[in-house]
Structure 1
Amino acid sequence: MKSLEVLSAAGKLALSRLISEVENETSAGRTALDECFSRSGKAHLIGVTGAPGTGKSSLVNRLAQLIRREGNQTVAIVANDPSSPFTGGAILGDRVRMRDLS
């Protein structure tokens, strides 16, 4: 499957399906990640973990602002909390707190 080519042609629906493949750790998801990383050049992946209320969202928000300002770089954030007692695993749950990045 040429996942990135499919994604370019199909748009949002293809993106949502591809994200599901990555989340479910399928072979198609792994292939998609391999394709993304091989085309992304000097992309970096940063993980932030910690207990609830320790400032993870604030840290990521500020770090993204600095990267965008100083390096004139594009930043993508995927926020996932699989242990959240409120959502049972929110993805992009912090988007409300990071509006100043959009």
Structure 2
Amino acid sequence: MAKILVQIGTAAFFAAGLAGCDVDKTQEGSVNLPKYNVEKTQEGSARMPEYDVKTPDVAVNSKEKKVEVPTVKKEERTVRVPDVDVTPADKK
């Protein structure tokens, strides 16, 4: 059951990542696993599938637009702030 959930989660992850891409499979994949008894009876081989992936073009630009922005006025006041004096241990 856990193995199936991991496979479904992995497939969903890759599907979300490729949602904006155009993918064309260019070659089939195959796996020929070696057979083992006490000694190896067959050589193994593997060929992974090939894909052509075309990603979408994304352009990020800026433009000027008038918007209302709140302004902040400042005034001078006298307030109490902390004042910390540190004497290093070797100076005591």
TM over 0.5: no
Q: Which has the higher helix share?
A: 1
Whose Rg is larger? Answer: 2
The TM-score, its normalising length taken from structure 1, stands at 0.23
Q: Which has the higher strand share?
A: 2
The TM-score, its normalising length taken from structure 2, stands at 0.25
